[in-house]
Amino acid sequence: MNELKQRIHDLLERMNERVYGKEHVIALSLLSAIAGESIFLLGPPGVAKSMVARRLKLAFRGGSSFDYLMSRFSTPDEIFGPVSISKLKDNDTYERQTEGYLPTADVVFLDEIWKAGPAIQNALLTVINEKTYRNGRGTVQIPLKGLIAASNELPAAGQGLEALWDRFLLRLWVTGITDLADFDRMIASADDTEPKITKELQITEEEYNAWQRQISEVKIHYSIFEVIHLLKEKIEDYNRTMQNAESGEHLLYVSDRRWKKLIKLLRTSAFLNGEDTIRLSDCLLLAHGLWDCLPQVDTVNEMVLSAIRQSAEGYLLNVQGVRQEIQALKDELSTTAALNEAQDPALKIIDSYYYQIDKVRMAGRLLLFASDYQALDRTGKLFYLHKDKYKSKCFILKRYDLSMRGKVPQNKIYSLRKGKRSVFINDYEYPLVCVPDCTPLPPSAGKDAEELIEERFQKAEELASRVEDGCQSFYETEKIYAEHHLFLNTEERKALAEMLKHQQTTVAYYRNELNELRHAYRKENEEYPSEGTEGNLFG
């Protein structure tokens, strides 16, 4: 763990002293503040939403805070400061005395945010987005790092709150304590004092400004762009589904500004976790910035995890490449096999349904259904010998199954494999009767074809090996990164671990499939024992 990550880790531990079940909320509040963004906490009264803001103020050395409970009667004077009577009287200037109010605070907490009137809402738009406040004739830059808003409800539709709602980059559903052990510790605790955080851990103004420059230099790998692209597609698909269903559900709207700010949030996460490039684990945080109503939370979580998985498979691990290469190999083998195993017009049809097996030592004809022959492969299938009472001196090899156990003698059960205008019966090869003057059978694979298929195998196996190595490396590094990530909760770490395990399982599956293809191909093309013109099975 590098020095900065260790410091943020220690700072969060101090901020979370005597905090029960809200550690993740505080961590995300700190992340959003360092990214210069605002966060909205949705939840019922009494679940420690205001405590989060008080703890966040402690992260900044010399930090000041402002908090206020909104009502529909709140005025701009109560939020931004009263108008200076002396300046209005002496200089004819309408200017507020902002000291001790929102424009001079590092951390702001506004409870019941949606009850604010239009005048307050309009001023908040520039305060949150540009970190500026127009006071009188001039515009001042404010020191605001993080604004935390809270409510027990979402903004009502049709009230003109959409622009303000969009300004809150992170949106968290905050509930009461669910873990019983945490609950017991909370109600038994008699110490409600704020934790003491040393100056060495607190963030100075100079550090905060320097970090902003360093955060902007964090690199974005194309796999991260691919996550965003995939998410945009999934959101569009979701919205189309909702519109077609006319369900009345809220659509997902993500503005271009929000996407840009989310990327900065990911950069901040990577930077504070000691990385110079955004990692896929950081992308799990996107789920907190995309939903508009509670029913969408699970859907958005699934979208984000799916996009991360698809990006990893396609652009980091190239699992898709292995899948495509194996399919191309299958197509090549199928094409080659089709030249030899399709119904051969040279084979003579007997009594409309059968092929006749030649060179057998038995009194009569030995037949095999043409459809059964076409269904044969190189692995061997069981047949039994049946005497056809309706055909004089005629025997038929028919498919055997376990229901015939005890009804068919063991010495009349045979293993059949497909040959080239022939059939292997218990590994003895017998030709099939062909029409007179039939054309010679094309070779199953000439030297060139064999070389091409071998090249296909080598290419697929080399790619699979690279992906296996890459998957192992990716699994180990990403697993460690996620396990020690400062801003992921237990559920998010678990979801990522399952995704990583799925990646390994998928790669192992394709390796096994490739090995089976190789085995089947070798088996198909190896030389089998062959007797002379007469076998000895039916003598």
DSSP 17-80: TT--S-HHHHHHHHHHHHTT-EEEEE--TTSSHHHHHHHHHTTBTT--EEEEE--TT--HHHHH
Looking only at the bridges linking them, the beta strands covering 107-111 and 65-69 are parallel
Task: Examine the domain organization and report whether 474 and 420 are in the same domain.
Answer: no
In a domain, 7, yes or no: yes
Q: From first to last of its 539 residues, what are the pLDDT tens digits of the chain? A: 699 999 999 999 999 998 888 899 999 999 999 999 999 999 988 888 888 989 999 999 988 999 999 999 999 999 999 998 888 877 778 889 999 999 999 999 999 999 999 999 999 999 998 999 998 888 999 999 999 999 999 998 888 899 999 999 999 999 888 888 888 888 888 777 888 999 999 999 999 999 999 999 999 999 999 999 999 999 999 999 988 887 767 889 999 999 999 999 999 999 999 999 999 999 999 999 999 999 999 999 999 999 999 998 876 677 878 888 888 777 766 655 544 445 678 899 888 788 999 999 888 899 999 888 988 877 789 999 988 776 778 999 999 988 788 888 888 899 999 888 899 999 899 999 999 888 776 655 444 556 777 877 888 888 888 888 888 888 899 999 999 999 999 999 999 999 888 888 888 888 888 888 887 777 655 544 444 444 556 65
245 and 190 within one domain: no
- Domain limit, last residue, from 150, 177, 201: 201
Please give the Cα distance from 286 to 337 (Å, whole number): 49
Q: What's the confidence (pLDDT) of residue 446? A: 45
> How many other β-carbons are positioned within 10 Å of the β-carbon of residue 178?
8
Q: How far is CA 314 from the centre of its chain?
A: 11
The reply to whether 333 falls in a domain is yes
Same domain, 427 and 445: no
Does some domain include residue 348? no
Among 381, 396, 431, which residue terminates a domain?
Answer: 431
The per-residue pLDDT for 315 is 67
Q: If you count them, how many residues does the chain have? A: 539
CATH number at residue 58: 3.40.50.300
Q: Which of 253, 249, 258, 254 is nearest to 295 (CA)?
A: 249
Q: Which residues of 183-219 are buried (b: 16+ CB within 10 A; e: fewer)?
A: eeebeeeeeeeeeebeeebbbeeeebeebeeebeebe
Regarding whether 423 and 452 lie in a shared domain, the answer is no
SS3 of residue 191 by DSSP = coil
Max intra-chain CA distance, the chain:
129
For residues 510, 513, 514 and 515, what is the CA-based torsion angle, rounded to 10 degrees?
120
Answer yes or no: do 331 and 380 share one domain: no
The answer to the question of residue 395 being in a domain is yes
- Domain with 142, as residue range(s), is 1-201
Residue 496 to residue 305: CA distance in whole angstroms:
8
Query: What pLDDT does residue 473 have?
Result: 85
Question: Which tokens in the block code for residue 292?
Answer: 């508009």
Cβ burial 131-156 (10 Å sphere, 16+ → b, else e): eebebeeeeeebebbbbbbbbeebbe
412 domain-assigned: yes
Same-domain pairing of 156 and 232: no
User: Tell me, what's the pLDDT at 528?
Assistant: 42
Say yes or no: 15 and 74 in one domain.
Answer: yes
- pTM > 0.75: no
CATH number of the domain that residue 245 is part of: 1.10.8.80
Q: What is the three-class DSSP state of 496?
A: helix
User: CA distances (Å), 310 to each of 252, 259, 288, 327, 339, in order?
Assistant: 21, 19, 20, 18, 37
Q: Has residue 73 been placed in a domain?
A: yes
Would you say the C-alpha torsion 515, 516, 517, 519 has a positive or negative sign?
Answer: positive
Q: Could you count the other beta carbons within 10 Å of the beta carbon of residue 8?
A: 24
Q: What is the pLDDT of residue 166?
A: 93
181 and 67 fall within a common domain: yes
For position 527, what pLDDT does the model report? 45
Q: Same domain, yes or no, for 159 and 43? A: yes
Of 170, 201, 232, which residue is a domain's last? 201
| Whether residue 332 sits in one domain with residue 416 | no
Q: Is residue 211 part of a domain?
A: no
Can you read off the two tokens belonging to residue 438?
């039939």
C-alpha angle 229-147-271 in degrees, rounded to nearest 5:
50
Phi first, then psi: what are they for 233, rounded to 5°?
A: -65, -40
In a domain, 310, yes or no: no
Domain co-membership, 48 together with 194: yes
The owner of tokens 């039939």 is 438
* Dist CA 486 CA 344 (whole Å): 67
- Decide the pairing of beta strands 107-111 and 146-151: parallel
Query: Which pair of tokens denotes residue 120?
Result: 């307050």
Asked whether the beta carbons of 285 and 295 are under 8 A apart, the reply is no
In this structure, the number of other CB atoms found within 10 A of the CB of residue 94 comes to 12
Structurally, how many domains does the chain consist of? 4
Q: Are residues 243 and 337 in the same domain?
A: no
Strands (E), 358-509: 365-369, 381-387, 394-399, 413-418, 422-425, 428-431
